[in-house]
Amino acid sequence: MPVLDIKNLILWYRTRKGPVHAVDDISFALEPGQTIALVGESGSGKTSTANAILRLLPKNVLRYEGKVVFDGQDVMEFDTEEFRKVVRWRGISMVFQGAMNSLNPTIRVGGQVAEPLMVHYDVDRDEAADQAIEALGKVGLSADTARRFPFELSGGMKQRVVIAMALILKPKVVILDEPTSALDVMTQTNIINLLKELKNTEHLSYIFITHDLGLASELADLVGIVYAGQLVEVGPAEGVFVKPKHPYTGKLLASVPRLRSEAAPDFIPGAPPDLTDPPPGCRFHLRCPVSFEKCGWSAPEFIEQVRLLQILEETKNTVPAIEAMTAKGAQNLLIKPVANGTVAEFAQRLTSFIAQNQETYRFLKSVESVQAKTKVVEVKLYESTPPPLLGGDWRASCWLLAGAGS
Amino acid sequence: MLGFLILLAVLVPIFAPYNVVQSWNDPGAWTNNPKLAAPEWSEVFTGKHLPRTALMPYNGEPGGFDKVRISFNVSNQVYTTVVLRSSFSFQADAFPSEIKMFMTTVFGNVTGTQIKVFWGRPDGQEIHIFDANPSVRAPYENTFSLTGPTIKDPSYAVYNSIRDWLILKNVTSETEWDALFPRIGGIYQNPPKAQTMLMGKLDHSILDPQTSEVLKGNYSFRIEFNGFTATDDANARAVVYGTVFGLAGTDFEGRDLLVALLWGAPVALAFGIAGALASVLIQTILGAISGWYGGLIDEFVQRTADFYLIIPTLPILILLGILYHLGIVLILIVLVVFGIVGATTKVVRSIVLQVKEEQFIEAARSYGASRGRILFRYILPRVMPYTFALIALTVPAFIFLEASLSFLGLGDPMLPTWGHILGDAYGQSALFASRAFPNGMWWWVFFPAAGIIFTTVAFALLGYAFDKVLNPRLREQ
C-alpha cells in the first residue's frame, strides 16, 4: 500500500490576469521507502505541488481539489486543526527551498529544531532540547551547534539543521524542496549522501523537488517530469533517464551538459507557457520538436506562428501574401489574401507552402483542410484534446504514444 | 549620562526621603530657609563673603536662647517676667535678607501681656526695637519680623524705633528721615531697609542701603516677657536669614530647590520610561497584530491609529487637568490610553508586512505553529530591536510632556517635578532682573531646565546608539 497516494490534485490561484493553473491534475503514488523526484523548469508547479500536499496555501486560492491519501486516510477531508495535528510534520514534513531563510534568526538552533516538538507535543524544555541535540547528531552536527544562532552557521550546516528539523517528529514522508539549490557542489554531495543515509536508517519516503537532473538521478527511485502544472511523464528512474518516452523529457535530458562529449547541450526553444491560459491539447506542443496533427494547435496560436513566418528571413519571401487573418472559433480561421489573383489561386499556393514546409514548421501539420470561399480562404485545423497519461508503472502523456488514431 | 541619572534616581531617596517631598507644599516646613536665596557657591562670582543663615534655637535646645524666669507676688497680683538672651557672630560682607523671631508663649486670660525686644550691636549700642503682645498661645508660634514690612504692627514699630534711635544719635533728623522715607496716611511709600540700619556702621551712610557698611561682630537678642499669672512662660528662637543657601538655592517659599531637583530625576525617569515603555510596547503589539492578521483587524487598528494621530493630546490633557486635577499616575494613564495606537503602530505594521513574507515564517506555518505562536516567537523578536530604539527616543517626549503640563500648572500639584519648579519660577517672574536680583533668579530656572535637557539628551543619545547597533547601514567600521 502506498504511503502517499495523490489523485487528481488541483491547485489554482486567483490573480488579476485570471486563474493560474499552478497544479493541474497531478497524480502519483509513493511506496514506503521510495523517493520520487519531481523535475521541471522554474514555474512549472513543483513547489506548488509540495505546498498543495502540505496544504500551505496562500490567500488567493481559487480551486483546491483532489485526493491526498496519506497512510490510508484521505487527508483532504480533514479540517484545518486535524490536518495540522495529524499531517503537518508528524506525517509529512518539508525541507524548504533556501535553508538560509528557513531558520528564525532570533532563536538558537537547538530551540529552532525543537520548535515542531513543542508545537505538537507537550514536551518540557529540557527534553525538547535533548531530542533536538539527538536530531542534530543524526544529521552530523555536534551538540554545541544547538547553542548557536543561525547566522553563525555555514550554508551546509544550516541545511543540515533544516533537515534535522524536518526529521524531529519522525515523519513518514519528507518533501525536499530544492534542498541543495544554494549550495556549492561539494556540500551538495554531502547533503545528498546524508539524505540517502537517513532514508535507509529512518525509513523515509522523499518527494524530492529539483531542477537538477543529476541530483535527481542520484536519489530517485521514481521520476516525475512536471511541465506547466502537469505530470507529463512518471516512471522508474532507470527507465526515464535512459530512454525517455515524452519528447519534453528527452529535450530536458539533452539540455544537461556532459563532461566528455563533443555535442553542445541542446535547448528547448520558446518559454514555458503562461499558466493563466495554458495551451489546449498537449501543453508542450508549442515547443515540441515532434508535434503533429493531434497535438492541439488552436487558431490563435496558428495565426501567431504564421505572423512569425512572415518576418523570418528564411520564409518571408515564400509565404503567400496575406492581408488579414481572423480566428473563427478554436479550430477555424479565415485568411484574406492580398488582391492579386483569385482566391482559389491563393488557396493553391497556401496548400503547396504547407506541404513544403510542414516538416520544418511543424504547426503547419495541424491543417486539416484549406477551402477557398468567395473572398477568403478558410483553414480548418485538427481538433484535439489533452493527451492521456498512459502506461502502467511508467506513464507518459503524449499523442505519439497513444497512437495517432485513438 | 544615563548611568548617572539612574544612580541619581537610586540615591535620591536616601539623600532626601520621601517625607521631605511630602512636606514640599507645607510652607511651615521651610521657615528656617531664606527665601529666593542663590546657591552658596555663587558667591565666588561676587567676590564677597555672603551671609549664611544663622539659627538661634529655642531655650533647651543646644546653642539655644538663655532664659531666666521670675515669678513674684505683689499685693495679690502675680507678676511673671521671662528674660531670653542669645547672640550670634556676623562676619559676612553683605546684609542678611531677613531677620525673624518666633515665640511660644503661655499666658493667662489677661490683656497686657507684653513682649519687649532689644537688639544689641557689636559697637555696644542697644536698640529697643519693639514692644508687642503675643496673639497665640503655645504650641503655636508668634512670628515677628525685625526687617520686612508686614501688615502687622511690629514692623512699623521697628522703623519707628530705628528712626528714634538714629535721631537720638544725631545721625539724622526728623525732617531728613521724613524726606527720605515719606509716609502717606502713616504708610511708608518707600520703606527703609531695616537690616542695613540694624547692622550698619553708625554714621550718615547708614541711611542708604547702597552705602551702608556691614558692622561685623557679635549681635544679640534680648527679649523680655511680662505676664500676670503664675503659669505664664515664654520661649523664643530667632533666624537671621542669609542671602545664599545650599547647592541649588531656594524658591519664594524658602524651599530647598536641591530637593526638588534631585527628586525631579526619578520622577522624570519613572514617568518617561513607564510612559514610553507602555505606549510603545502596546503600539508595537497592536501594530504587529494588525500586520500579521490583516483583514478586518488590520483595517480596524489602522483606522483607529489614524484617528488617534489627529487627536491633539496636549489640549485634551489640559482640559482634563483643568476639570479633574490629575495626579501624576492618572496623567500617565491618560497619556498611555491616548497612545495605545499611533505612529509606532504604523511603523511596526510595515516592518511586520516585510517579515511575514520571509521563509522562516512559512516554515513555521508548515510545522504547525499557531498564528499566535508565530506572532510572539517569530515576528515580535524581529521587531523588538526597532522597538527598543523607539522606546529610548520616546522617553524625552514623555518627559517634555510632563514638564509642559507642570509648567502650565496642570501637572501633579503634590510632586516637585522639574516642570513644576519652572512653572513656579515663571509665576514669580524669576527671569526678570529686579533691584534685589540684578541677574534675575537664574538658579531657579537654570537647574531644572538643565535637568530636563540632560535627561532628554541622554535618552536621545541612547536611541541613536540603539539605532547604530541595529541599523547595519549606520554601523561604522
* Residue B105 pLDDT exceeds 50: yes
A89 touching B (Cβ < 8 Å): yes
My answer on whether A214 and A346 are in the same domain is: no
Instruction: Give the DSSP letter of residue B267.
Output: H
Distance (Å, whole) CA B99 – CA B97: 7
A236-288 pLDDT, tens per residue? 999 898 888 899 998 888 888 877 777 788 888 888 888 888 888 888 888 88
Which residues of A are less than 8 Å from B381 in CB distance? 104, 106-107
Judged by CB atoms closer than 8 Å, whether chains meet at B367 and A89 is answered as yes
Can you give the pLDDT at residue B150? Answer: 56
CATH number of the CATH domain containing A170: 3.40.50.300
My answer on whether A326 and A242 are in the same domain is: no
Can you give the pLDDT at residue A406? Answer: 39
B263-277 pLDDT, tens per residue? 888 888 889 999 999
My answer on whether A97 and A197 are in the same domain is: yes
State chain A's mean pLDDT as an integer.
87
Q: Which residue of A has its CA nearest to B384?
A: A106
My answer on whether A150 and A13 are in the same domain is: yes
Chain A interface, best mutation among B367, B370, B374, B379, by max A CB count within 10 A: B367
* Nearest CB neighbour to B367, from listed A93, A101, A105: A93
Residue B174's SS3 state is: helix
Q: Which residue of A has its CA nearest to B293?
A: A59
Of all residues in chain B, what percent carry a pLDDT higher than 70?
96
My answer on whether A247 and A308 are in the same domain is: no
* Nearest CB neighbour to B362, from listed A56, A89, A93: A56
B230-247 pLDDT, tens per residue? 888 889 999 999 888 888
CATH number of the CATH domain containing A362: 3.30.980
Q: Does the residue A261 lie in any domain? A: no
Contact B115, B135 (CB under 8 A): no
My answer on whether A53 and A187 are in the same domain is: yes
Choose between B33 and B326: higher pLDDT: B33
Q: Which residue of B has its CA nearest to A106?
A: B381
My answer on whether A59 and A8 are in the same domain is: yes
Q: Which residue of B has its CA nearest to A105?
A: B382
Q: Does the residue A198 lie in any domain? A: yes
Nearest-CA distance B358 → chain A (Å): 7
Residue A391 CB burial class (10 angstroms; 0-12, 13-18, ≥19): middle
Average pLDDT, integer, range B363-382: 87
Q: pTM value?
A: 0.74
Judged by CB atoms closer than 8 Å, whether chains meet at A54 and B366 is answered as yes
* Residue B313 pLDDT exceeds 70: yes
Question: Which residues touch A321 (CB under 8 Å, ≥6 apart)?
Answer: A337, A338, A340
Average pLDDT, integer, range A202-217: 90
B373 touching A (Cβ < 8 Å): yes
Please report the beta strands in A249-340, taking only residues with DSSP state E, as ranges in sequence order: 322-328, 332-337
Can you give the pLDDT at residue A405? Answer: 41
Nearest-CA distance A185 → chain B (Å): 23
* Residue A47 pLDDT exceeds 60: yes
Contact B214, B94 (CB under 8 A): yes
My answer on whether A334 and A204 are in the same domain is: no
Q: Burial letters for A144-154: b for 16+ Cβ neighbours within 10 Å, e otherwise?
A: ebbeeebeebe
State chain B's mean pLDDT as an integer.
86
Quickly state the pLDDT bin for B384 (edges 50, 70, 90). Answer: confident
Quickly state the pLDDT bin for A375 (edges 50, 70, 90). Answer: confident
Quickly state the pLDDT bin for B440 (edges 50, 70, 90). Answer: confident
Q: At which of A201, A234, A254 does a domain end?
A: A254
A300-337 pLDDT, tens per residue? 888 888 888 888 888 888 888 888 888 888 888 888 88
**What domains does chain B contain, in order, with CATH numbers?**
51-242 (no CATH), 258-476 (1.10.3720)
Which residues of A are less than 8 Å from B362 in CB distance? 56, 96, 102
Average pLDDT, integer, range A210-228: 90
My answer on whether A303 and A234 are in the same domain is: no
Average pLDDT, integer, range A142-170: 90
Hey, how many other C-beta atoms are within 10 angstroms of the C-beta on B81?
15
Distance (Å, whole) CA B456 – CA B370: 41
Q: Does the residue A320 lie in any domain? A: yes
Q: Does the residue A232 lie in any domain? A: yes
* Residue B154 pLDDT exceeds 80: no
Interface of A with B in 138-167 (CB under 8 A): 162, 165
Residues of the domain holding A336: 297-381
Q: Burial letters for B146-158: b for 16+ Cβ neighbours within 10 Å, e otherwise?
A: bbbbeeeebbbbb
Can you give the pLDDT at residue A292? Answer: 83
* Residue B475 pLDDT exceeds 60: no
Average pLDDT, integer, range A112-122: 88
Q: Burial letters for A70-105: b for 16+ Cβ neighbours within 10 Å, e otherwise?
A: bbeeebbebeeeebbebbbbbbbbbbbbbbbbbbbe
Can you give the pLDDT at residue B474? Answer: 55
User: Lowest mean pLDDT: which of A32-36, B147-151, B358-362?
Assistant: B147-151
Tell how strand A322-328 and strand A230-236 pair up. unpaired
* Residue B473 pLDDT exceeds 70: no
> C-alpha cell of B211?
552705602
How many domains is chain A partitioned into structurally?
2
Of all residues in chain A, what percent carry a pLDDT higher than 70?
99
Q: Does the residue A288 lie in any domain? A: no
Which residues of B are less than 8 Å from A97 in CB distance? 359
Q: Does the residue A287 lie in any domain? A: no
Judged by CB atoms closer than 8 Å, whether chains meet at A106 and B368 is answered as no
Distance (Å, whole) CA B336 – CA B331: 9
Q: One-letter amino acid identity for A34?
A: Q
* Residue A222 pLDDT exceeds 70: yes
My answer on whether A47 and A150 are in the same domain is: yes
Can you give the pLDDT at residue A404? Answer: 45
Q: Does the residue A402 lie in any domain? A: no
Q: Does the residue A234 lie in any domain? A: yes
My answer on whether A47 and A101 are in the same domain is: yes
Nearest-CA distance B458 → chain A (Å): 28
Distance (Å, whole) CA B467 – CA B387: 10
Judged by CB atoms closer than 8 Å, whether chains meet at B381 and A85 is answered as no
